[in-house]
């Protein structure tokens, strides 16, 4: 289903392309040996290279190149065996060299694709234009002193991957799904932690609108540095509305760089869009072309983990679970691992229901992630085993589960402690059945007179008499026999 906006002059379509900056997971920076650790004392992770001292020479960090190539493979993208670094020249106080080393004409990764899943169950392919490596800048601190600003260069020189999408995105929902999917892939690969709150992933959002899908693209605006998925979606909606109003009142949208203000719910102009020539890009004379071997790329490809789409498809096939459940279970590697440990050798559908239902419910209630789940995968598996061998029934399992959450005890211990073992002793069940029938002679009469739905009532009464512990199948049998 396509997403459109009703204006005064008709229907509009949104066109979006995203540039995502993802901080590379590596011990040291892109061109220096300084640490990339987050949260150190200001200026404690700064080498002379990062500080832009004259005469210092950058040396490429192979670990960062490896991460970029692995990410490219994860995006099913073309790996360029030869790429180059350029200087992007501009002045700002957080950039001591006066230029950022980036890749302009020859990025390390070329075109690729990311498949997104939408809430109606449909999927779409979003094209990746390129991925290139570049340096991050430092950080200005304006809140330390009333009169002066300071600069912290800990982040200066840290490797970023800029991942540019084609203008293939057509709605806020698709943009959200795209960023989520990208983050999921990067996390699986271990190439970026994807923490948008800490700034290790941020998006520049390019937005334009047009009257119909057959019309050429119109002028876009770029909203810089959006730092959450919710804000990406909001910014698109708000910016599209602004542009539609301009076009409909006979104006022209100017190509410019804008900022999103989530408090005011508006985007505002930062500067008119700069062009490539404003940056005087030129090949960095301190760096050789970056050449990687196909054999090395192949080796990295062999070492890739199973990625979310493949894992989802395998779960559907191997465990016979619905696509939706499989998608939920592969959202994070840790969740998928947990599920597989529970499902292994057990009823995999039942395992999926317990993990996505009761367990996720409990984790949400207590604001925990799967890593600090009070019930381990082994413990949950142990409970399923007790259901499988009929020690407990489904109803008692709910009670056992709640107890496991609270006490951390094993299901077996809880069943023992509370005496919850299912009663399969037909003598005891027959006695309870006889008692229930004796106490409800009138209902027995009605049932025998043809009121079939009363059967459930008798089951309920017998279960109640046996504190929920009777084996439901045996209760059914026993009732059928005497009714």
The residues that touch ligand ADP, with contacts defined as CB under 6 A, are 15-19, 164-167, 206-208, 217, 220
CB-nearer residue toward ligand ADP: 69 or 223: 223
Q: CB of residue 322 vs ligand ADP: minimum separation in angstroms?
A: 34
Nearer to ligand ADP, 257 or 376 (CB): 257
Q: Give the Cα separation of 135 and 234 in Å (integer).
A: 28
Q: Name which of 97 and 208 has its Cβ closer to ligand ADP.
A: 208
Q: Which residues pair with 86 in a beta bridge?
A: 102, 283
> Do 101 and 79 contact (CB within 8 A), yes or no?
no
For the bound state, the minimum distance from the C-beta of residue 188 to ligand ADP, rounded and expressed in Å, comes to 23
Q: What tokens appear for 391 in the block? A: 């020690």
Three-class SS of residue 193? coil
Tokens of residue 149, six digits = 């600003």
- Give least dist CB 218 to ligand ADP, A: 6
Per-residue b or e along 373-395, where b marks 16 or more CB atoms closer than 10 Å to that residue's CB: bebebebbbbbbebbeeebbbee
Q: What angle do CA 277, 283, 289 make, to 5 degrees?
A: 145
Q: Which tokens is 42 given?
A: 């200001």
Q: Closer CB to ligand ADP, residue 203 or residue 343? A: 203
Q: List, as one string, the DSSP characters of 416-454.
A: HHHT-PPB--HHHHHHHHHHHHHHTHHHHHHHHTT-TTH
> In this structure, what token pair is assigned to residue 241?
């509305």
Integer Cα distance of 202 and 20 in angstroms: 6
Residue 122 buriedness (CB in 10 A; 0-12 / 13-18 / 19+) = exposed
Report strand pairing: 150-152 vs 139-141: antiparallel
Q: Which is nearer to ligand ADP, 19 or 399 (CB)?
A: 19
For residue 18, the minimal CB distance to ligand ADP (Å) is: 6
Whether the Cβ atoms of residue 89 and residue 46 lie closer than 8 Å to each other: no
What are the tokens at 136?
């991050």
How many whole angstroms separate alpha carbon 258 and alpha carbon 281? 23
Dihedral sign from CA coordinates of 113, 114, 115, 118: negative
Dihedrals phi, psi of 326, to nearest 5 degrees: -60, -45
Q: What is the 3-state secondary structure (H, E, C) of 226-258?
A: ECCHHHHHHHHHHHHHHHHHHHHCCCCCCCEEE
For residue 207, the minimal CB distance to ligand ADP (Å) is: 6
The least distance separating ligand ADP from the CB of residue 405, rounded to whole angstroms, comes to 45
Tracing tokens 């760096």 back to the chain, one arrives at 287
Give min distance, CB of 119 to ligand ADP, in A: 23
Nearest residue to ligand ADP, scored by beta-carbon proximity: 17
CA distance 306 to 156: 33
The minimum distance between CB 164 and ligand ADP, in angstroms, equals 5
Q: Which is nearer to ligand ADP, 17 or 157 (CB)?
A: 17
Shortest Å distance, C-beta 396 to ligand ADP: 55
Rounded to a whole number of angstroms, the minimum distance from the CB of residue 138 to ligand ADP is 22
Instruction: Give whichever of 182 and 396 is closer to ligand ADP, judged by the CB atom.
Output: 182
In angstroms, give the least distance from the CB of 19 to ligand ADP. Answer: 5
Closer Cβ to ligand ADP, 126 or 335, answer by number: 126
Closer residue to ligand ADP, CB minimum distance, 220 or 469: 220
Q: How far is the C-alpha of 363 from the C-alpha of 342, rounded, in Å? A: 16
Count of CB atoms situated within 10 Å of the CB of 77 = 24
Q: How far is the CB of 165 from ligand ADP (least distance, A)?
A: 5
186 vs 209 by CB, closer to ligand ADP: 209
Burial 296-313 (b: 16+ CB within 10 A, else e): ebeebeeeeeebbbebbe
Output 19 or 358, the one with its CB closest to ligand ADP. 19
Residue 294 belongs to what H/E stretch? helix 294-302
Angle, CA of 178, 182 and 188, to the nearest 5°: 145
> How far apart are CB 128 and ligand ADP at their closest, in Å?
9
């Amino acid at each position: 289903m396509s997403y459109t906006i009703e204006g005064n002059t008709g229907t509009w379509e949104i066109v979006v392309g995203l540039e995502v900056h993802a901080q590379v997971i590596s011990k040291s920076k892109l061109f220096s040996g300084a640490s990339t650790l987050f949260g150190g004392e200001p200026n404690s992770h700064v080498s002379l290279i990062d500080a832009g001292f004259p005469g210092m020479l950058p040396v490429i960090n192979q670990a960062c190149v490896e991460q970029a190539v692995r990410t490219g493979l994860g995006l099913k993208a073309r790996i360029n065996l030869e790429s180059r670094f350029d200087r992007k020249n501009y002045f700002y106080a957080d950039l001591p060299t006066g230029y950022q080393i980036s890749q302009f004409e020859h990025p390390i990764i070329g075109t690729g694709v990311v498949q997104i899943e939408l809430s109606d169950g449909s999927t779409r392919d979003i094209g990746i234009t390129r991925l290139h490596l570049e340096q991050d800048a430092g950080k200005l601190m304006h809140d330390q002193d009333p009169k002066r600003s300071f600069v912290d260069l800990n982040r200066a020189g840290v490797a970023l991957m800029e991942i540019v999408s084609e203008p293939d995105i057509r709605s806020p929902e698709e943009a959200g799904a795209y960023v989520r999917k990208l983050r999921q892939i990067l996390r699986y690969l271990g190439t970026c932690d994807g923490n948008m709150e800490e700034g290790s992933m941020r998006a520049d959002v390019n937005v334009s609108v047009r009257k119909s899908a057959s019309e050429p693209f119109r002028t876009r605006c770029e909203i810089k540095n959006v730092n959450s998925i919710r804000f990406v979606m909001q910014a698109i909606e708000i910016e599209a509305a602004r542009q539609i109003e301009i076009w409909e009142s006979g104006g022209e949208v100017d190509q410019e760089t804008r900022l999103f203000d989530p408090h005011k719910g508006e985007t505002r102009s930062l500067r008119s869009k700069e062009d490539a020539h404003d940056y005087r890009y030129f090949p960095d004379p301190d760096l050789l072309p970056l050449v990687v071997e196909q054999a090395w790329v192949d080796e990295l490809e062999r070492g890739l983990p199973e990625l979310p789409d493949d894992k989802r498809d395998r779960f559907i096939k191997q465990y016979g679970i619905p696509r939706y459940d499989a998608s939920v279970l592969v959202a994070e590697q840790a969740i998928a691992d947990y599920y597989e440990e529970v499902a292994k050798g057990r009823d995999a559908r039942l395992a999926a229901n317990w993990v996505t239902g009761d367990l996720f419910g409990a984790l949400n209630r207590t604001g925990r992630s799967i890593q600090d789940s009070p019930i381990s995968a082994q413990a949950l598996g142990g409970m399923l085993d007790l259901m499988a061998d009929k020690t407990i029934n489904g109803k008692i399992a709910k009670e056992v589960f709640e107890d496991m959450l609270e006490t951390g005890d094993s299901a077996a211990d809880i069943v023992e402690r509370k005496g919850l073992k299912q009663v399969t002793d037909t003598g005891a069940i027959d006695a309870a059945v006889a008692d229930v029938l004796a106490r409800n002679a009138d209902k027995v009469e009605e049932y025998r007179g043809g009121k079939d739905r009363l059967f459930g009532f008798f089951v309920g009464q017998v279960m109640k008499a046996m504190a929920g512990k009777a084996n439901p199948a045996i209760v059914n049998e026993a009732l059928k026999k005497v009714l």
